[in-house]
Amino acid sequence: MDKRLKVLVLSGGCSAEHEVSLNSAKSVVEALDKEKYEVIAVIISPEGEWSLAHKSSSLAPVAGQVVTPSLNRMPRGLLLLANESKRGFEPFIQGIDLVFPVLHGPYGEDGTIQGFCEIADLPYVGAGVLASAVGMDKGYMKIILREAGLPVVDFLTFKLTEWRASSLQIAEEIEKSLGYPVFVKPAALGSSIGISKANARQELVDAVAEAGLYQEKILVEKAIDCRELECGVLGDEEPEASVLAEIIPGHEFYDYETKYSDELVNIHIPASLPATITGEVQRLSIKAFKAIGASGMARVDFFLENGTNKIYLNEINTIPGFTATSVYPKLWEASGIPYSRLLDRLIELAIERHKKKAHYRTQRT
C-alpha cells in the first residue's frame, strides 16, 4: 500500500505575482521527496481556472485537464477535484492529505486559499487565515507591528477614491508628516510590484497613479538611507530565526526587475554585521512572527539606517519566494537546513498544527 502523503501544490493565481509563483512552485515540486510524497501540481490561471500541471521543470498546464475544486469535510482530509467530461463532473482526484500553497500576492497569500483549506478541513503549509491577511496588507501589518512595540518607518495609507477627492490635502499631509523622498506602493501586493520612489510632488502624483494600476489602497512611507536585511523564521509556537542576508540592489532600490535578476542584485549570506545587530534582528523577527500570529514560515525584512544603526522592520512575508535560489531557502541552507529538509519541516509543522486544532470542539455538547 502506498503510504506516501498526497500533497497538492497550488501555484499561479489571480495576481500580478503569477509568474513569480510558478517559478517558486517548480522548485518545490522538483525538491519534494517522491519516496515520501505523491505530488499533485495544480496551476491556477490569472483568470482563476484550475488545471493539472506537468510535474516537470516546465510545470505547464496539462492540455484538457481543467479541474474544479469541490469542498467536503467528510471524510476528514478530503479535497475532491472533479474533471469535466461528457457525463458531467466525475471524481478525479480525492484523498488529498495536505495542501502546499505556493501562491504569492492576493488570492493566495492573503488568507483566501487558507480559508479554502480550513473549510475543507485540510492541513496546509504556512500561516493561517488571519496572519496571512495581516501579512498581505502592509497598512494593517504596520499598525499591528507598531502596536506590538516593533520599530516601523513612518507611513500613511489612503484609498484611490480619497486621493481623487482630496489629492492636494493628502499630498500636503504626506509632505508635512513624511517629507521627501517617500516610497509609494500598493498596500497589499508583493515582489516590489507597483512600487516607486518620489522626490517631489509631481513624482508623488505619478507614483500614486502607478500603484493605483494594481490596487485601491495605497501605502506611502518615509524613505531612509539604509542597508536592507532579511531574516527567515521557521516554526510555530517556538519559532527559530535564521542567519541574516544583506540585499545590495544594483538599482536605486530593490524593485521587481532587481529582485528577479541575478545580475542586478548581490545577496550576502550571512550578512557581515556585528553580533549585537544580528541578534537584535533575529529577536525582532521572532517577535514580529508572533505578533501577527504567523506559523510555518515567514521572511522578515528590515532596514538598518546608515549612520545611526537604527533598525526598522519593513515587512513580513508569510509565503516568501521559494525557488532554490530565493533568499528564504538560502537563509535556512546557511543555517544548516537544506532545501528538501526545509520542505519536510514545513509539512511536519502543518500536520502538527492541524492535529492540535482537531482536539478543540466545533459544537456544543
Distances (CA, A) of 29 to 32, 68, 101, 194: 6, 21, 11, 29
Task: Given the residues 12, 13, 15, 17, select the one marked as catalytic.
Answer: 17
Q: Is 191 a catalytic residue?
A: yes
Nearest CA-CA partner of 354 in 6, 137, 105, 97:
97
**Among this protein's residues, is 344 annotated catalytic?**
no
| Given the residues 21, 191, 242, 285, the one annotated as active site | 191
> Is 17 a known active-site residue?
yes
By CB atoms closer than 10 A (0-12, 13-18, 19+), residue 165 is exposed
Which residue out of 97, 317, 328, 333 is catalytically annotated?
317
Of 45, 236, 260, 340, the active-site residue reads 260
User: Which DSSP category does 208 fall into?
Assistant: H
Catalytic residue among 228, 230, 315, 333: 315
Any catalytic annotation for residue 110? Answer: no
Contact 218/139 with Cβ under 8 angstroms? no
Which residue is catalytic, options 214, 301, 339, 353? 301
**At residue 152, what are phi and psi to the nearest 5 degrees?**
-125, 155
Our answer to whether residue 301 is catalytic in this structure is yes
> Is the Cβ–Cβ distance between 63 and 35 less than 8 Å?
no
Active-site option among 194, 321, 333, 353: 321
Which has the closest alpha carbon to 92: 64, 121, 133, 134? Answer: 64
Q: Which candidate in 299, 314, 328, 353 is catalytic?
A: 299
- Please spell the DSSP secondary structure of 58-123, one letter per residue: S-PEEEEEEEEEEE--SSTT-EEEEEEETTEEEEEE----EEEE---STTTSSSHHHHHHHHHT--
Give the CA distances from residue 99 to residues 102, 193, 278, 354, in Å, rounded to whole numbers and listed in that order.
Answer: 9, 26, 34, 12
**Can you read off the three cell numbers belonging to residue 60?**
505547464
Tell me which residues are annotated as active site: 17, 191, 260, 299, 301, 315, 317, 321
